[in-house]
Structure 1
Amino acid sequence: MGNETIGAHDEHHDGGKQRKTTIVLGILAPILIIVLFIFIGNILKANSIQPEIKKRSRPVLAVMASTAISDTVQLRVNVQGQSRPRTEIDLVPEVGGKIVSVSSKFISGGIFNKGDVLYRIDPSDYQVAVVRAEATVARAQQVLMREESEGAIAKLDWDDLGNGKEATALTLRQPQLIEAQASLQSAEADLDNAQIRLRRTAVTAPFNGQVREKFADIGQFVNPGAKLGRIFSTDIAEVRLALSDADIARINLPLAFVAKSRETAPDVKLSTTIGGQLREWDGKIMRTDAAYDPLTRSMYAIAEVLDPYGAGAADGAFPLAPGLFVDASIAGKIIENVIIIPRDGLRPEDKVYTVDEDGIATSNDVIVIDTNPERAVLLSGIEPGSLVIVSALEKSQISLTFRVLDINDPTKILIEPKKAEREKKNGDGDALATAQKKLADSKKSYAIAKKEYAMAKKKAAQEKKDKKKKKKGKKGDKDKNPKDEQSVDNQNQGKNSKKEGAN
C-alpha cells in the first residue's frame, strides 16, 4: 500500500510539470513565429536583386507660342454709360381750364412730331375774351377818328380867328388825340393777348419726341403750369461716360472740351445686347464737363448720337432708347512701332514668357500700353519676332526646355529641343532589356519566399496541433475520481503519522 501511495504522489507531481510546460510553450510559440517571419524577411531581402539606379530623363513638355509683331495701332478707351435724351421736359399748359381733347399720340411711348396738338383746353372763355377785345379796339378806333376830325376842325377855326397867332396844343385838341391813340394801342394789345390765350388752349409739341409719362386726361380741369405729362426729344441721344486720368491720356481730351465740328470730334462706338444680339450705334464725343466729379474723381465726356430713332438706330430698327446701359469704345491716339502679342501671352504683374531657339523659357518684364480681350499692346520688354508662350505656365517652369508648337497650327513644330531629338534617335531597346531582367529576378525571389513561407506555415500548424494534445491530457487529469485523490491524501497522512510515532 505504501508503494501505491508513492506512485500516486509521483503521478500528481508529473501532471503539474506538464501544465507548466504547456504554459511556457503557449508563451514562446508566438515569439518563435515572429522571430521566424523576421528571419524569412531577412533572407528575402538578402536574396533580392537591387534595381539598377539610373537617372531618368525629364519628359519634354509642349507649349503653344505666337510670334510678336511690330505695328501701328490706335488706342481705344472702353467705358460704360447710360443713354439719355438731350432734351426732356414736363408738358404743361399756359392757360387753365377743362381738357376737352387729348391726342391719340399722347400715350406712354407714343411718338409725335413738332407742332402736333397733344392737349386741347376748352376755348369758350378765351373766345369770348377775344370778342370783347375786338369790340374795345373798335371803340378805340372810333374815338381816335373823332378826335382826329375835331382836331382838324379846331385848326381851321384857329386859322380863321386866330389873327395869325400860333395855336396851342390844347386849342388843336392834341392831348385828346394822343389819349385816343393810346386807348387804341391798349385795346389792340388786349386783343393780341386774348388771341394768344385762345391759341394756348391748344397744347402743341415743342419738338419731335416721345411720351415718357402721361399725367392728365380728358375731362380733367388743370391750372396753368400743371403737369400734363413728361416728354423727351428724339433728335439727339446722349451718353455720359466717366473717364479716368489714364483714359483721358489715351484720348488726349482737354478739360472743358467742346468739339468745333462733328467731323473732327472723336469717334465712339456704343454697343449692347438686345434680343440676344449685339446692337451698335455710331456717335461722337462732342464735349466734356467743366469740372471733375468730386465723388468719383472722374471727368465725364458726353457722347451724342444723331437721330437715334431714325437713321441713327442700330440696324435701322433698334433706337438708342433712354435708360439703355451701353458699352462705349472711344477712339484715341495713334501710336507707331509698338509690339502686339496675343492677350493670353500677357501674364500677371506685366510679364511675358518667351522661348529661345533652344526651347528654353524666359520671363520678361514689359511695359503695357493697352489691352483688350484679343491682344495686348507693349511699348517695350521684348523684341518683334520673339516667340511668346500663350499656354498656361507656372513660374517654377521658367528656364525649362519645351517643345514649341504654332498656336495657329498645333501640328506644326516651331522648335524641337536637341536633347529630345537625341533621345528619340536612341530608341527604347536598352530600357526594354533592363525591364525584362528585373521581371525575371522578381519572379525568382517570389518563388523562394513562397517556399519558405509554406515551411513556416507547416511548422506553426504542427506546434498548434501538439499544443491541443497537451491541453487535452491536462483536461483528463482533472476528470479523475475524487475518491482516489482522497485515498492518496489519506495514505500520505497515515505515512506521516507513522514517521512521527517512530520518532
Structure 2
Amino acid sequence: MKKVRTAFQFILALLIIGGASAAAFLLLKTAPETVPEDKKQAVKIVQVVDLKPSDERILVSAFGTVIPAREVTVQPQVSGKVVSQNEALVPGGRVVAGEELVRIDPADYELTLTERKAELEEARYEFDIENGRQLIAKREWEQLRSDLPDADMNPSLALREPQKRRAEAMVAKAENAIERAELDLERTRVVAPFNGMVAEESVEIGQLVESGGNMCRLVGTDEFWVQVTLPLSELKRVRLLGGNQEGAAAEIHLDIGNGKMTPWQGTVVRLLSDLETTGRMARLLVEVADPLGIQSEEASSTPLLLGSYVKVDIEAGNLAGVLTIPRSALREGNRLWLVGSDNLIRIAEPEILWTRPQTVLVPNVLKEGERLVVSELKVALPGMEVDPQPLDAADGAANQP
C-alpha cells in the first residue's frame, strides 16, 4: 500500500513539473517582440521626380501602305504600226508630261488629211456655183412676180433655198472631216499625260497596235498617297482638307533597316467613304510630294517606293498646361502618388487626356511643392509619411547599409 502511494506521488509531481514547463514555454512564445525605437520611427525611401506643366503636341500614330496618287493605262486612239519608241518606255523608266512615248506610222493619216482638204475645195466650189445660181433664180423670180402679180407661188423652191442649204452643209461637213483627219494624225504621237514612271510596258517597234489596246501603265511621280487606317475614335482629332482649311500635317517614317527611319513630310488630303473591311477602321489618304526624290538636291535621298509599309504620325492639335507622366508611375488605372513638402503622400486620380507609347498626358493636378513618386510601394495610403529622394539620389540611398 505504501509503494502504491509513493508511485502516485511521483507521477503527480511529474505532471505538475510538466505543466509548469509548458506554461512557461507558451508565455515565452507569445510574448510581444521588443522593437527598437529607431525601427518604429523608420520611413520608406521613395524615388520622386519633378513635374512641370507644358504645352504638348498631340500626334495620332497609324500605319499605312504607299499607293499611287495618279495611275493610268496608256492606250492609242488610232491604229497602225509602231515606228518609234521612247527609250524610257521600259519598266522603271521616267517620263515627263507631254513627252512622246510611241509614234504610230502617220503615212495613212497624212494621205487621209490630203483627201479631206480636196473634198473641202470641191464642196466650196459647189457652194460658189450655187451662189451664182441663186442670183439667176432671184432675177427670174422677180420677173415672174411682175408678170403674174396675183399668182400664189412658193418662193423657197424658186429661189433655190434648199440647194443653198445643202451646199452650206457640204462645206461644213468637209471642214469637220479635215478637223477629224488632223486629230487622227496628231494622235499618231502617243504622249505621257503627266510626269510619271513606267510600271508596265507591252509595245515594241514594228508592232501593229489597235485603237484602245494597252501599251503601258504609268504612275505619277509628283506625289504618292499613303492609305492609312486608324480607329474611328481618333478620326475626330484629324483635320481634313476642305473649305478654307488645309489638311493636317503628317510625318511618314520608313524603316530602312539597322534601326534607321527615313522621314517624309505629308498632308492629309482625303477621308475615304468606306471602312477597312478587316478591322472596321477609318481610312485616310496622306499625300507625299516628290516621294522618289526626283526634285531633291540630296543625291543620297532614299526613295519612298510604292507598296512600302510605313508609320504615319498625324498632327492632332495641342494640349496646353498638361503633365507628362511615365506609364510606370500610374497606379491602379489612373492614380498618381504625389509627395508634398511635408513628405506625406497624396493620391490623385486625374483624367488621362492622351496616351503615348511610354507616357500619358494628364491635367495639372500638382499642388505647391509636390513631386511624383515613381518607385514601388507595397502599400501607399493618403497621409503616409515617406522619405522622398530624387530618382538618382534614391538609388544611392537604397544601396547604403
* TM-score range for the pair, normalised by the shorter chain length: 0.7 to 0.9
Deviates more, 1:305-314 or 1:332-341: 305-314
What is the CA–CA distance in structure 1 between the aligned matches of 2:368 and 2:283, rounded to whole Å? 37
Q: Which amino acid aligns with 1:115?
A: G
What CA RMSD, in Å, does the superposition of the two structures yield over aligned residues? 3.8
Equivalent in the alignment of 1:265: 247
Give a deviation string over 1:36-94, Cα, whole Å, max 9, x none.
xxxxxxxxxxxxxxxxx997979998765322222222322111111222211111111
Equivalent in the alignment of 2:30: none
Equivalent in the alignment of 2:229: 242
Q: Which amino acid aligns with 1:195?
A: E
Pairing of 1:12-161 with structure 2 (within 5 A): 64-160=47-143
Pairing of 1:457-472 with structure 2 (within 5 A): none
Q: Which has the higher contact order (CA 8 A, sep 6+)?
A: 2
Pairing of 1:290-301 with structure 2 (within 5 A): 290-293=273-276, 295-301=278-284
Cα deviation, residue 367, structure 1: 3.2
Pairing of 1:473-484 with structure 2 (within 5 A): none
CA contact (8 A) 1:73 1:338 kept: yes
Q: Which amino acid aligns with 2:372?
A: V
Q: Secondary structure at the match of 1:367?
A: coil
Q: Secondary structure at the match of 2:156?
A: coil
Overall identity of the aligned pairs, in %? 25
What is the CA–CA distance in structure 2 between the aligned matches of 1:311 and 1:404, rounded to whole Å? 57
Alignment of 1:328 with 2:315, yes or no, is no
Equivalent in the alignment of 2:15: none
Alignment of 1:345 with 2:329, yes or no, is yes
What is the CA–CA distance in structure 2 between the aligned matches of 1:280 and 1:355, rounded to whole Å? 41
Change (3 A) 1:125 1:190: same
Give a deviation string over 1:249-282, Cα, whole Å, max 9, x none.
444x5xxx542246x4322122223365432222
CA contact (8 A) 2:45 2:394 kept: no
Q: Which amino acid aligns with 1:282?
A: Q
Length-normalised TM-score, structure 1? 0.61
Equivalent in the alignment of 2:198: 211
Deviates more, 1:349-358 or 1:372-381: 349-358
Alignment of 1:193 with 2:183, yes or no, is no
**Which structure is higher in strand share?**
2
Equivalent in the alignment of 1:48: none
Equivalent in the alignment of 1:486: none
Q: 2:261 aligns with which of 278, 291, 298?
A: 278
What is the CA–CA distance in structure 2 between the aligned matches of 1:384 and 1:221, rounded to whole Å? 85
Cα deviation, residue 137, structure 1: 1.3
What is the CA–CA distance in structure 2 between the aligned matches of 1:112 and 1:383, rounded to whole Å? 65
Gaps of 5+ in 2: 1-32
CA contact (8 A) 2:46 2:394 kept: no
Cα deviation, residue 95, structure 1: 1.4
**Which structure is higher in helix share?**
1
Pairing of 1:393-432 with structure 2 (within 5 A): 393=376, 396=378, 405-407=389-391, 410=392, 412=393
CA contact (8 A) 2:223 2:290 kept: yes
Change (3 A) 1:101 1:346: farther
Give a deviation string over 1:385-427, Cα, whole Å, max 9, x none.
5433445x4x6475799765534xx2x459979xx9xx98xxx
Gaps of 5+ in 1: 1-52, 425-503
Give a deviation string over 1:201-231, Cα, whole Å, max 9, x none.
1111111222112122222222121111111
Equivalent in the alignment of 1:233: 220
What is the CA–CA distance in structure 2 between the aligned matches of 1:109 and 1:363, rounded to whole Å? 62
Equivalent in the alignment of 2:6: none
Pick the structure with greater CA Rg: 1
Change (3 A) 1:337 1:414: farther
Length-normalised TM-score, structure 2? 0.75
Change (3 A) 1:347 1:246: farther
What is the CA–CA distance in structure 1 between the aligned matches of 2:94 and 2:367, rounded to whole Å? 58
CA contact (8 A) 1:367 1:381 kept: no
What is the CA–CA distance in structure 2 between the aligned matches of 1:348 and 1:308, rounded to whole Å? 45
Q: Which amino acid aligns with 1:191?
A: I
Alignment of 1:367 with 2:351, yes or no, is yes
Change (3 A) 1:200 1:376: same
Equivalent in the alignment of 1:305: 288
Give a deviation string over 1:149-202, Cα, whole Å, max 9, x none.
121222234445552658822222222121111111112212211221111111
CA contact (8 A) 1:269 1:283 kept: yes
What is the CA–CA distance in structure 1 between the aligned matches of 2:35 and 2:64, rounded to whole Å? 62
Change (3 A) 1:145 1:293: same
Q: 1:171 aligns with which of 158, 167, 187?
A: 158
Cα deviation, residue 345, structure 1: 3.1
Q: Secondary structure at the match of 1:73?
A: strand
